[in-house]
Chain A
Amino acid sequence: MTLAVFLSVLSAIGFGTTIILVRLGLQRVPPTFAVFISLCTGFLLTFLVVLALHFQDIFELTPRTFLWFTFYAIITFPLARLSNFTAISLAGASRTAPLLAISPILSTVLALIILGERPNLMIVLGILVSVMGMVLILSERQSDAA
C-alpha cells in the first residue's frame, strides 16, 4: 500500500509537471504540432515499458481491439488533448489544471444519467464544491502578466 501511495504521488507530480512544460513549449509551438510531439514521445516511452512487461500481449491484439484504440484515440487526442493544449496556451496553466481535473465529475454525472443511479450525499456535495471552485476560477478578473 505504501508503494502504491508513493507511485500515486509521483504520478500526480508527473501530471502537474506536464502542464508546466507544455505551457512553456506552447509559447512558440502551435498546439496541433505540440500534441503531435507529445504523442510521439508518450508512445515511445510507454511502448518501451510494454515491450519489457507485456511483450506477448502485443501478439494477442485483434482488429476489433484496434477499433477500440482508434475510437479512444479520436475522442482523446484531436478533441480532448488539443482542446487542453489550446486552453493552456490561452488561459494559462494555473487556470486550466483545475478545470481538467473535473473530468471524473463529468464522467460520474454521465454514468449516473446513463445508468439511472441515484447519487449519494458525498457525490452531490462533491459536485457542488467543484462547481463552486469552477465559479471562482471563471470569475477571475485579472489577466496574465504576459
Chain B
Amino acid sequence: MQHSLTGRRRILVGLSFGLVAAAFYGGSSVIAKAGMTSEGVPPLVFTSFCFLMGVIIISLLFHRSFKFRSGIPLKYFLFIMAGGLTSGCAVSLLVFAVDLAPISVVTPIVFLHPLVALILTHFFLQQLERVTPRVVMGTLFAVSGVILVILGSVQL
C-alpha cells in the first residue's frame, strides 16, 4: 500500500484504526444478535446476505477507486481472495460449533485466533514485520482478558 506515513507514526495511526475496527465489530455483534433474534434468521443465512449487502455498499461507495488495477501482480489479489475464503470458512465453522456446544465453550477457543496470527506472522511474515516479546506479552494479556470477560458474561 502506498502511503506517506512512516515509522512509529504509521503504526500508531494503524493501531487507532484497529481500535475503531474493534469498536465497530463490538457494536455489529450486538446488531447481528438483535437482527437474528428479531427475524428468526439462521446465523449462516444472516452472514451470507450481509456479505451480499456489503458487496453492494462497498461497490456504491468506492467503485470510482476500483479502476486502475493493471499494475498489481495477480498473486496479491489471490492472497486477498484466499483471505476471503478462509474468513468465510472460519465464520461457517464458528456457526456449526455454536450449534453443537455452549457459546461459553466455543468463543474462548475462537478468540485464541490472535495467537494463531502471531505464530503465522513469525513463520510467514518475517520479511514484513517482527514479532517482539512485548507484542507476544500484550497478545497473551489481551486474549486472556477477553476469555475472562466471555466466561464472566456467561455467569451474568
Contacts and interface: CB of A to CB of B under 8 A. Distances in A.
A7 B93 contact: yes
Given A33-B66, A75-B28, A103-B26, 14 more contacts: A16-B119, A47-B51, A65-B39, A65-B41, A70-B53, A78-B61, A90-B3, A93-B129, A101-B113, A104-B146, A129-B144, A136-B135, A140-B134, A142-B132
B interface majority secondary structure = helix
Given A87-B21, A90-B11, A31 B27 contact: no
B18 A99 contact: yes
Given A29-B76, A68-B39, A106-B26, A130 B146 contact: yes
A74 B18 CA distance: 17
A interface majority secondary structure = helix
Interface residues of A, number: 125
**Interface residue tally on B, bucketed by range:** 35 or more
Interface in B141-156: 141-153, 155-156
Contact of B87 (A4, A15, A62, A100): A15
15 contacts: A1-B105, A12-B90, A14-B93, A16-B113, A21-B86, A23-B121, A32-B58, A46-B92, A91-B11, A91-B12, A122-B148, A126-B146, A132-B141, A135-B138, A140-B11
